[in-house]
Amino acid sequence: MKTGPRASVMSTASDTVSLTIPRAQEYLPLFNMLLGGIATRRVLSLEALDDLQLAVDNVILEDRGTTGDLSLAVTLLEEALEIVISPLSDPDLHSTLIEGSVSTEAADRCLDVCLLLSPLVDRYVVHDLDSGTFALELRKLLR
């Protein structure tokens, strides 16, 4: 059964908005719409918004061969935006993010996403999940 996008809003000390979509090319622009809406609310510069959209798009494109749904959660903090992309499962992407560079075994299959992320976001953290998947947390400081 094919399902469409699902959105949820959670409110705590910070605000979190999440969107889950089928992992298909035609749904990916919805993540950019979500980021655009958040950027408008936080008066984020167009340059900062472009940085976040480019970071998210490239991480998703590097998660090759993965099927199923994909989630993006954006948390509004006082000093930053925190974005979590999950579940990701490409082992080359995982090892590249953990090691900080592409291993020679993955050189023909994986972009140096770490080199790409470093000027776009202020920090990224890999969180291992169950069943061989992982989440990537991106943080962009609000300046």
Do the domain assignments include residue 69?
yes
| pLDDT single digits (tens) 17-68 | 999 999 988 999 999 999 999 888 877 889 999 999 999 999 998 898 778 8
CATH number of residue 98's parent domain = 3.30.565.10
Q: Would 29 be classed as within a structural domain?
A: yes
Range list of H helices, the chain: 29-41, 46-62, 91-99, 113-120
Return the closest-CA partner of residue 70 out of 28, 37, 29: 28
Q: What is the pLDDT of residues 61-92, one digit of tens each?
A: 889 877 889 999 999 888 899 999 999 998 88
Residue 131 within a domain: yes
At 127, the pLDDT band (50, 70, 90 cuts) reads very high
- What's the pTM value of the predicted model, to 2 decimals? 0.84
Position 1 in a domain: no
Which residue's structure tokens are 């008066």? 43
Which residue segment(s) compose the domain that 20 sits in?
6-141
